[in-house]
Structure 1
């Protein structure tokens, strides 16, 4: 079962920095992210959403490959496989991109927008859907970032550990 977590940050670029670190941790097999989304509320109050998985480009790529394959096979029937490859690839890429744009994968977009609207201008939030993780090692690596938990499906004990790690972020030395 995946865990859901939303962490708010006081700066616009902090969520990006944490996601970059989490991607590094994912390459070290310390965390397995199913989905990650960043919501940024700029100083004018406009909310921007940055998806970590672009389903439009994924749909275009897979649709293009399938379309090219089927186009080639159908083109063989009409003795023109090259035209079938080109036409099938173009139609497949277009329909795949359209389908990818319409799919809502992972974290619900309406939830992201509603929480994004509650952010103060000039802040950001990181939405995470985590398949599995090694919390002790991750918390040690994220202790440099200062944030606050907005919403989570973690147990009370896990949420307290996370809050402690985020609130004990490196304080400036006087």
Structure 2
């Protein structure tokens, strides 16, 4: 099953570093991505979605995947997939720089602080230990996932660990 994970960062540079790590992990076969996008919000509050490397080729397929997943979250997967595929192919052909084929991704972008960015990934398969150890140093704020509660908590703990308490008595 494909899982969606959206993590926000304070700045675009950090989000781009995480994106580069994800692509490296994909090359190393530690991560199988269906799609990944970078979402930025400029200082004026405008949200921009930066699509995958091959938007014309991937448009209909990634649109169907995104639409299907969003449809599943809204309990209408077939309608979501159909809308996503149609929208994905049309917008990908029309624009390589901006792909706003889902209001859902745009909505997540509006939750970012001005100047912030997020990485939103559709993950098919993952070697959890390898991926978490590589992305944990970047921190981040978990915006949304389709993971189980236990999986989501492991991710939260990895990217936003609680600082060790000092001054407490030890046993």
Q: Provide the C-alpha distance between the structure 1 equivalents of 2:146 and 2:11, rounded to a whole number of angstroms.
A: 24
**Partner residue of 1:63?**
none
Distance 1:51 1:100, change over 3 A: closer
CA-based RMSD: 2.6
What are the superposed Cα offsets for residues 69-110 of structure 1, whole Å, 9 maximum, x if unpaired?
xxxxxxxxxxxxxxxxxxxxxxxxxxxx968426xxxx9522
**Partner residue of 1:7?**
7
Q: Provide the C-alpha distance between the structure 2 equivalents of 1:99 and 1:13, rounded to a whole number of angstroms.
A: 26
Mark the runs of 5 or more structure 2 residues left unpaired by the alignment.
59-88, 95-99, 163-171
Distance 1:46 1:22, change over 3 A: same
Q: Provide the C-alpha distance between the structure 1 equivalents of 2:101 and 2:44, rounded to a whole number of angstroms.
A: 25
Q: Is 1:116 the equivalent of 2:109? A: yes
Q: Which has the larger radius of gyration?
A: 1
CA contact (8 A) 1:35 1:53 kept: no
**Partner residue of 2:93?**
101
TM-score, normalised by the number of residues in structure 2? 0.67
In the TM superposition, 1:160-171 aligns within 5 A as 160-168=153-161
TM-score, normalised by the number of residues in structure 1? 0.66
Q: Provide the C-alpha distance between the structure 1 equivalents of 2:91 and 2:161, rounded to a whole number of angstroms.
A: 44
Q: Provide the C-alpha distance between the structure 2 equivalents of 1:99 and 1:40, rounded to a whole number of angstroms.
A: 18
User: Where in structure 1 do 4 or more consecutive aligned residues deviate above 3 Å?
Assistant: 97-100
Mark the runs of 5 or more structure 1 residues left unpaired by the alignment.
60-96, 170-174
Q: Provide the C-alpha distance between the structure 1 equivalents of 2:31 and 2:5, rounded to a whole number of angstroms.
A: 13
